[in-house]
Amino acid sequence: MENKNWGNYYKITQQKTIPRKTLTKAIELFHSRNKFNFPKFAIDLGCGSGADSRELLKHDWFVLAIDSQAEAISILLSSCPPSLKNKLKTEVISFESLTSLPIAQLINASYSLPFLKPELFLNFGN
């Protein structure tokens, strides 16, 4: 999707407060199997307007939200409850520019991986 179209997408999805079902299932499974009380850290790749990031924060996860568009990060920051912002870090960067990711218990990519250039996909996964 061209950069000029992302703004329209964010306006449409900004009001979407329901996280992806795959993420809610992952959170449910993690909590049912996690018998330890240690900090949980997730990375939300291609976070968009932030519905998934906010859901992780609500479930007491620390979150690194990454998106290539500053507008997406701005929307996430403005919609994040102040009481949860201390657990949120953001970064504006494209997948192609990522050289590494921190260790995390959960990496969420929802619908963002198809936007990774095919020739870079294998490098990204490593």
Reported pTM: 0.84
Domain range holding 97? Answer: 39-125
Question: Each residue of 6-30: b (16+ CB within 10 Å) or e?
Answer: beeebeeebeeeebeeebeebbeee
Rounded Cα distance, 55 and 18, in Å: 8
Residue 68 DSSP class: S
Residue 12 maps to a domain: no
Instruction: Indicate the number of domains in the chain.
Output: 1
CATH code for position 88? 3.40.50.150
pLDDT tens-digit map of 7-16: 777 766 666 6
pLDDT tens-digit map of 82-120: 999 999 999 999 877 888 899 999 999 987 877 777 776
